[in-house]
Chains A and B, each alone.
Chain A
Amino acid sequence: MDATDKGEIHIAGVNKVFGQGASAFHALTGIDLTIATGEFFTLLGPSGCGKTTLLRVIAGFEQPTSGSLRINGAEMAGLGPNRRPVNTVFQSYALFPHMTVAQNIGFGLKMLGKSRSEIEATTSDMLRLVRMEALAERRPSEISGGQQQRVALARALAPRPRVLLLDEPLSALDLKLRKEMQSELKRLQTETGITFVFVTHDQEEALTMSDRIAVMSAGRILQLGAPTDIYNAPVNRFVADFIGETNFLVLPVAQTGGAVARLTLPGGNCAEARLPEGMTPVTGTTVTAVIRPEQAAIVAPETGDLTARVESAVFFGTDTHLHLTLADGQPFVLRRQNRPDQQPPEPGAMLGLSLASGALRVLED
């Protein structure tokens, strides 16, 4: 078995350029990716970063300008979408308006030339799977957005594809329905064991659902890893900023040694920060370090690592965001869980902050 056969989807050196000459637009640049069988894989990035384009390349709606794409070991170059073992849940759902829910779900099997009895059996299985049995004879225009979403899912799952591609399938739903569908999708993925390639611009959705995430920006993959890796160890400023909320602190280096550096904090205390691989900053220069808002705790003033003044407090239900100013004027956001017996500190109050050990990380420039 050679290396390219290990993954369900193997993408190597894929580029996609739209247009030619001066107006050429590089939608995808140097994409290398191996997605494992049965994985819930997410493409995450801001609008316009090339997520849909990559999905369309996998589905066969776009041909890559260069590079290779293998699915289950087979080279896909030149194969149309109708000849790939991949189904798509479209962002707009794209349900066939002149067919019933059941006919929509059975369409793929019909095109594959399956027998009528098999189509009926699978269709009713799928209807049960997405809990739409009662609405089988309705037209897409006669069901709600959330129900259309489930039909689109059932239609794509019915032919039992090896890979299911989902292009921002939940973005049109309201928050509550969206949360429901998130767990429903996760359940379906676990039950069917089908490889999911899921596109979203919602970092929270990506973090909660995925086995692995590829963070994309401007047609490139910036970081690839498990949600905890990406959240805890963002490789650069873009990823740190895009995933969750982050404090960026510009700090002088006091001492370096191995994988950590001692940085001088505002107020004079020192703290250890992990260094990215291969980076050894010179003592005395400044670096950018990041720390998440929930990774600092309030302690009595003049104790802890930092001293900070409260500027404002914003209530978020489960927690409160305290906007603080450090001794040298750098801003710092602290997230504190709300409890009924605790009042948030008043603006102007001075606090001590204690940083969780290992929370501070130096970013590559």
Chain B
Amino acid sequence: MAEKSYSVRRIPGFGAVAVFTFAMLYLPIVILVLFSFNAGPSQSVWEGFSLHWYEAAFQNRQVRDVSIRSLWLAATAASIATVLATLAALGTTRGGRFPGQTIIYALINQPLMVPEIVTGIALLIFVAAIKVQTGYTGMGYLVMAHTAFCIPFAYLPIRARLETLDAALESAAADLYASPVQAFVHITLPLLVPGIVAGFMLGFVISLDTVVITEFVKSAGQDTLPTYMLGQLRRTVTPEMNAIATLFLALSLLIVTAFFLVTRTRGR
């Protein structure tokens, strides 16, 4: 009985607050998705169901280009970030404690704590200087910036997985004549795969989603899907944007679901 009196559900207004919070979170998204199927050009007047805006989005050359760039950038940055994060996780959990370990841990997670706008401006100044020096204006800057930003997100699940991994398994491999490299390839790496996959997917979603940093770092003609959409929104907003946003949402949901399934089922 005593437990029940502590239940948060008993607090007056709990239900109302919960409903309000969920409404604030999801109602705008529901409306956005709904109006992507609107037959007319309005965001507020429903004129019947149509896939018209999806068709428009698919036929829009620019949308296709920025989408491909976004996916390419996310895949590239997340891949590099995952490799680096795996090495960082191995370095910070294996090989014993070393001086400055806490500082390094903090530094790896720095992008999580520094405001994105600060990172953005810093990168803008830095990249501008390099551009002037080298004349190079390719995608390298965006790849580098996104990679740096993705590392902590990739690092966390990999490190978490590595910490739950029984160190006796690596000892057992060494005892059974595996060299350190063989022990890593045959034991540590396969058992780390769920963490690595999760890290990659998190990094991928984060990169796909990043606006501020991209906006500051990109050169002309390097719009990603989010920066392109931001640009379009400054003009008239047609439900074509809703359609693109809905597809974007679907992709993110797909990845997050996959992430959830991977971390749950491969966890054992």
Interface set of A (CB-CB < 8 Å, partner B): 59-61, 80-83, 86-88, 90, 92, 94-98, 107-108, 111-112, 141, 155-156, 159
Task: Collect the chain A residues with CB atoms within 8 Å of residue B173's CB.
Answer: 96, 107, 111
Chain A proximity mask over B179-196: 1 for CB below 8 Å, otherwise 0? 100100011001100000
User: B175 touching A59 by the CB < 8 A rule?
Assistant: yes
Inside 8 A of A81's CB, which chain B residues have their CB?
171, 174-175
Which chain B positions have C-beta within 8 A of A86?
175
Query: B186 — which chain A residues lie within 8 A by C-beta?
Result: 107, 111
Q: Complex Cα distance A102/B93, Å? A: 30
Sorted from nearest, which 7 A-B pairs have the closest CB atoms?
Answer: A108-B176, A94-B168, A94-B172, A111-B177, A81-B174, A111-B178, A88-B175
Q: Is the CB of B169 within 8 A of A108?
A: no
**Does A88 contact B182, Cβ atoms closer than 8 Å?**
no
B182 close to A111 (CB less than 8 A): yes
Please determine whether A96 and B169 come into contact, CB atoms closer than 8 angstroms: yes
Please report the number of residue pairs spanning A and B whose Cβ atoms sit closer than 8 angstroms: 62
- Chain B residues within 8 Å of A, Cβ to Cβ: 166, 168-169, 171-179, 182, 186-187, 190-191, 268
CA distance A111 to B187 in the complex (A): 12
Q: How far is the CB of B172 from chain A (nearest CB, A)?
A: 4
Q: Given A90-B168, A94-B168, A94-B171, A159 and B191 touching (CB < 8 A)?
A: no
Residue among A95, A98, A112 with the most chain B CB within 10 A?
A: A98
Asked if B172 contacts A159 (CB within 8 A), the reply is no
| Cβ B176 vs Cβ A94 within 8 A | no
B residues less than 8 Å from A159 (CB atoms): 176-177
Shortest beta-carbon distance from B176 to chain A in Å:
4
Partner of B166, one of A82, A92, A108: A92
CB nearest to A87 among chain B residues: B175
In the complex, how many angstroms separate the beta carbon of A86 from the nearest chain B beta carbon?
8
Asked, given contacts A87-B176, A107-B176, A159-B177, whether A98 binds B182 with beta carbons under 8 Å apart, the answer is: no
Chain B residues whose CB sits within 8 angstroms of the CB of A82 once the complex forms: 174-179
Q: Which residue of B lies closest to A98 (CB)?
A: B190
- The answer for the CA separation of A108 and B183 in the assembled complex, in Å, is 11
In the assembled complex, the Cα of A80 lies from the Cα of B176 at a distance in Å of 11
Q: Which residue of B lies closest to A86 (CB)?
A: B175
The docked-state distance in angstroms from the alpha carbon of A108 to that of B173 is: 8
Q: Which residues of B contact A156 (CB under 8 A)?
A: 175-176
Among A59, A88, A96, A112, find the residue whose CB has the most chain B CB atoms closer than 10 A: A96
Indicate which residue in B168, B178, B187, B268 contacts A92 across the interface (CB closer than 8 Å).
Answer: B168
* 16 residue pairs from A and B, CB less than 8 Å apart: A59-B175, A61-B174, A82-B174, A82-B176, A88-B171, A92-B166, A92-B168, A94-B171, A96-B173, A97-B191, A107-B176, A107-B178, A111-B182, A141-B268, A159-B176, A159-B177
**Chain A residue nearest to B182 in the complex (CB):** A111
Of chain A, the residue at the smallest CB distance from B178 is A111
Please indicate the chain B residues that have their CB under 8 angstroms from the CB of A97 in the complex.
Answer: 169, 191, 268
| Minimum Cβ distance to chain A for residue B263 (Å) | 16
Measured between beta carbons, the chain A residues less than 8 angstroms from B179 are 82, 111
- Min CB distance B171 to A, Å, is 6
> Do A90 and B172 form a contact, CB below 8 Å, given A97-B191, A141-B268?
yes
CB distance from B268 to the nearest CB of A (A): 7
Name the distance in Å between A40's Cβ and chain B's nearest Cβ: 20
Which of A82, A141, A159 counts the most chain B CB atoms within 10 A?
A: A82
Query: Is the beta-carbon distance between B171 and A90 smaller than 8 angstroms?
Result: yes
Once the chains bind, are A96 and B172 in contact (CB under 8 Å)? yes
Of the candidates B171, B177, B190, B268, the one whose C-beta lies within 8 Å of that of A108 is B177
Contacts of B175 in A (CB 8 A): 59, 61, 81-82, 86-88, 156
The chain A residue with its CB closest to the CB of B266 is A98
Q: Which residues of B contact A87 (CB under 8 A)?
A: 175-176
Q: B225 to chain A: closest CB distance in Å?
A: 37
Bound Cα distance A112, B182 (Å): 11
Rounded to whole angstroms, the CA-CA distance of A156 and B177 in the bound complex is 11
Complex CA–CA separation, A90 to B175 (angstroms): 10
Residues of A within 8 A of B166 (CB): 92, 94
New contact pairs (11) apart from A141-B268, A156-B176, CB-CB < 8 Å: A61-B175, A82-B178, A88-B171, A92-B168, A94-B168, A94-B169, A95-B172, A96-B173, A97-B268, A111-B173, A111-B186
**Which residues of chain A are within 8 angstroms of B171 by Cβ–Cβ distance?**
61, 81, 88, 90, 94
Q: What chain A residues lie within 8 Å of B172 (beta carbons)?
A: 88, 90, 94-96
Taken together as a complex, chains A and B put the C-alpha atoms of A92 and B182 apart, in Å, by: 22
A94 to B173, CA, bound (A): 9
Chain A residues, Cβ within 8 Å of B187:
96
Q: Which residues of B contact A90 (CB under 8 A)?
A: 168, 171-172
A325 to B169, CA, bound (A): 54
Nearest CB of chain B from residue A326's CB, rounded to whole Å:
51
A111 B176 Cβ-Cβ under 8 A: yes
Chain B residues in 8 Å Cβ range of A107: 173, 176, 178, 186
Are B169 and A80 neighbours in the complex by a CB distance under 8 Å? no
**In the bound complex, what is the Cα–Cα distance between A297 and B175 (angstroms)?**
51
Find chain B residues with CB under 8 A from A60 CB: 174
Kindly report which residue of chain A lies nearest to residue B176, judged by CB atoms.
Answer: A108
Closest to A113 in B: B177
Determine the chain B residues whose CB is within 8 A of the CB of A141 once the complex forms: 268
Residue of B nearest to A152 (CB): B172
B186 to chain A, nearest CB (A): 8
Q: Tell me, in angstroms, the Cα distance from A2 to B252 when the chains sit together.
A: 72
How far apart are B51's CB and chain A's nearest CB, in angstroms? 45
Complex contacts, B168 vs chain A, CB 8 Å:
90, 92, 94
Most buried by B among A86, A97, A159: A97
| Residues of A with C-beta under 8 A to B190 | 98
CA distance A228 to B169 in the complex (A): 38
CA distance A187 to B65 in the complex (A): 72
